[in-house]
Amino acid sequence: MEEVRKAMAEIFSHLQKTQEELERDQVEAFLQSLIQAKRVFVLGAGRSGLVGKAFAMRLMHLGINVYVVGETITPAIRSEDAVVAISGSGETDLVVGAASIAKKAGAKIAVVTSFPDSRLGRMGDVVIVLPGRAKTETISEYVERELAGEHASLAPLGTLFEISCMVFLDGVISALMSKLNKQEKDLKERHANVE
């Protein structure tokens, strides 16, 4: 029980620090990229991909035309679209490669990462920085540690980034509800009724 409480306390503390460090201009630009896009494509791998799918579901509930990159029903990306690319390291080959293709197609790239100077971060038109475990480590140290399965934290691997990302994106949904004048009842109308 004590380990669970300690891990939760570490996560809560990290979330508090993360929300205090968010840059207002970048968050507003992120929101505008979603509102102005004809369609939104969400991109991520592993647990970041699962966070992305949860975000895509809420965008759909808001009535936004949204797709998850890699699903069989995902259409071609065009210049009037936006891509939300999620990667803690900003170096995940699958995410970087797909974002690069979308960028060449003229789509706006909105990146969520811990490393703005990563390949993905440098590609972004909008970059939201959500720190992972240690802001001082280098990208290569982060990637090497993640691949080796090493962790010094009570929240292993990319947990702090992924949880921060999930909470941030849920905050984005709340802001979009306000900007688009949507209520919870509007979202419920689009909630799955065949499960």
Q: What's residue 135's pLDDT?
A: 43
Q: What whole-number percentage of the chain has pLDDT above 90? A: 69
Strand boundaries in the chain, DSSP class E:
40-44, 66-68, 82-86, 108-113, 126-129
Q: Decide if 113 contacts 121 (C-beta within 8 A).
A: yes
Which of 141, 146, 162, 195 is flagged as catalytic? Answer: 162
The answer on pLDDT for 194 being more than 80 is no
Q: Distances from the Cα of 126 to the Cαs of 27, 107, 192, 193, 195, in angstroms? A: 9, 12, 31, 35, 35
Query: Among 114-118, 147-151, 155-159, which stretch is predicted with the lowest mean pLDDT?
Result: 147-151
Architecture of domain 2-179: 3-Layer(aba) Sandwich (3.40)
Rounded-to-integer distance, Cα 5 and Cα 71, Å:
37
Question: What is the number of other CB atoms lying within 10 angstroms of the CB of residue 138?
Answer: 11
Reply yes or no on whether 162 is catalytic: yes
Q: What digits encode the pLDDT tens for the residues 54-105?
A: 999 999 999 999 999 999 999 999 999 999 999 999 999 999 999 999 999 9
Q: For the chain, give me the number of helices (H) and strands (E)?
A: 8, 5
Model-level pTM?
0.85
CB under 8 Å to 2, separation ≥6 — which residues? Answer: none
Quote the tokens at residue 80: 């009037």
Question: Phi and psi for 76 in degrees, rounded to 5?
Answer: -65, 145
Question: What is the number of other CB atoms lying within 10 angstroms of the CB of residue 109?
Answer: 21
Query: Among 7-16, 150-159, 162-171, which stretch is predicted with the lowest mean pLDDT?
Result: 150-159
